[in-house]
Amino acid sequence: MSGAEILPTILGIALVAAAAAFALLPFARAAAPETNAASTEPGPTNRIGLYRQVMELEFDFQLGKLAPEDYAQLSSELLAQAGEALRHERGSLSEVDEEIEREIAAARAAFAAVRKTGRARRPAGTPS
């Protein structure tokens, strides 16, 4: 083969390899989330994935593909897992309760100040 015949052959092989890589890329990307989903630490993506699974169960139940007992058991298990993931994400229930109580106390103090002065406090720098 001469140099003029080898160049088109090499270019053809490179194009076929690029096309094969492009065609196989979605399969390689689909395998990656499965390895990430196996992590034991719950997180927001796992919680949202659990909610999606519950919605799929609801859909299957409405189509009649799932018995009511199976739907109730599976959805309660998935929602319990999602609750655990939410607790892990947001902290313990007592921490959330304390944060809510602080916000309520701050709101009560602001309302008490408004009642005491007779008018709302304006932020600094705003015209009256």
Give the tens place of pLDDT for each residue, 77-106.
988 888 788 777 777 667 767 777 888 888
For residues 22 and 64, membership in a common domain is answered with no
The pTM (predicted TM-score) of the whole model is 0.40
Q: How many domains does the chain have?
A: 3
Half-sphere exposure of 53 (CA within 13 A, CB side): 16
The predicted pLDDT at position 128 comes to: 52
For residues 105 and 76, membership in a common domain is answered with no
Whether 34 contacts 59, CB under 8 Å: no
DSSP helix/strand/coil, 124: coil
The predicted pLDDT at position 36 comes to: 46
For residues 85 and 101, membership in a common domain is answered with no
The parent domain of residue 46 ranges over: 41-91
The predicted pLDDT at position 122 comes to: 54
% of the chain surpassing 90 pLDDT:
3
The predicted pLDDT at position 95 comes to: 74
> Which regions of the chain are under pLDDT 50?
34-43
Residue 31 domain-assigned (yes or no): yes
